[in-house]
Amino acid sequence: MNVSTIAEVIDQLDEIVTSCRQRPSRNGFFAALYRGVTKRVADGIAWGRFQDGARMELLDVVFANRYLHAYEQRMLGAWTSRAWTRAFDVAELHQPLIIQQLLLGMNAHINLDLGVAAAEITTPETIHGLRSDFDMINVLLSEMLDEVQHRLSALSPLMSIVDAIAGRFDETIGNFSMQRARDAAWTNALTLVEIPQGPARWDAIHRIDDAAVVLSHVLYDPRMDLVLAPASAVEQKDIAHCIDVLGA
């Protein structure tokens, strides 16, 4: 079921977070963090931080619906994008670090969904007018980055020295910068908006999905489990508590 307002997005995310706490499910990690981001966007709209608040709400809703639909499909055992399938599959494992689970969700939602959503609400003539508000999201996210890092440090005490444990893993996290992901999403949007709705656009979306899947296997590589075992061993294992901290 698609939602039509940012308030409804937050309500749906609340339901997912509650469900994941009760089951419990590691899928709640990303949902809790995403709920916080969505609330930050809603506040930004209310405070007039975007050039066009109504358009930003539309983008946020179309963007969120892609995640909500993917999650719903997963719960029904139905098909969803390969990038989201990968994120949901890894959520069923206990070895990945919390940061890896978050990055897999971000990978699917930003590297795949964001460009698709931006192209869906614009035309070749109007898309460039979206750029400033699109970039403002980066500002909002950077403002909450320190908060998120603090929460992660509380849940995963060795994250601050993970580079000493596995140097190339820390480099992988650096390679998945929010700015870089959103730049790629903007490039994807510019490509997709020029392709008429129909099979050709779906083919292009599938290619973007394929690229996101490739990155997902870098973000979580089972061959690194043994190397990262010390960090995993001291991570908080109470899933409901992790969800609460990430969503605080």
What mean pLDDT is predicted for residues 31-42? Answer: 93
In the predicted model, is pLDDT for residue 207 greater than 90? Answer: yes
| Two tokens, residue 142 | 């950077």
For residue 35, give the nearest of 62, 72, 7 by alpha carbon: 7
Residue with tokens 């039509």: 4
Count Cβ atoms below 10 Å from residue 154 Cβ, excluding itself: 15
pLDDT for 135: 86
CA nearest to 162, candidates 216, 212, 235: 235
CB 169 within 8 A of CB 235: no
CA distance 101 to 107: 10
Measured distance CA(61)–CA(117) in Å, rounded: 9
In a domain, 148, yes or no: yes
**pLDDT mean over 45-64:** 94
Residue 47 lies inside a defined structural domain of this protein = yes
For the chain, what is the mean pLDDT? 89
User: Taking a C-beta distance cutoff of 8 angstroms, is the pair 101, 91 a contact?
Assistant: yes
- Contact between 82 and 214 (Cβ < 8 Å): no
Q: Taking a C-beta distance cutoff of 8 angstroms, is the pair 186, 134 a contact?
A: yes
Task: Flag whether 1 is in a domain.
Answer: no
Residue 83 lies in a domain: yes
Nearest to 101 by CA among 111, 109, 91: 91
**pLDDT single digits (tens) 140-169:** 776 766 677 778 888 988 766 554 544 454
Does the residue 70 lie in any domain? yes
Residue 238, domain member (yes or no): yes
Is 134 within the bounds of a domain?
yes
The pTM of the full predicted model, rounded to 2 decimals, is: 0.91
Print the domain residue range for 29.
6-246
Cβ atoms within 10 Å, residue 64: 25
**Is residue 222, in this structure, part of any structural domain at all?**
yes
How many domains are contained in the chain?
Answer: 1
Per the CB < 8 A criterion, the answer to whether 179 and 216 are in contact is no
User: What are the pLDDT digits (tens) for 66-119?
Assistant: 999 999 999 999 999 999 999 999 999 999 999 899 989 989 999 999 999 999
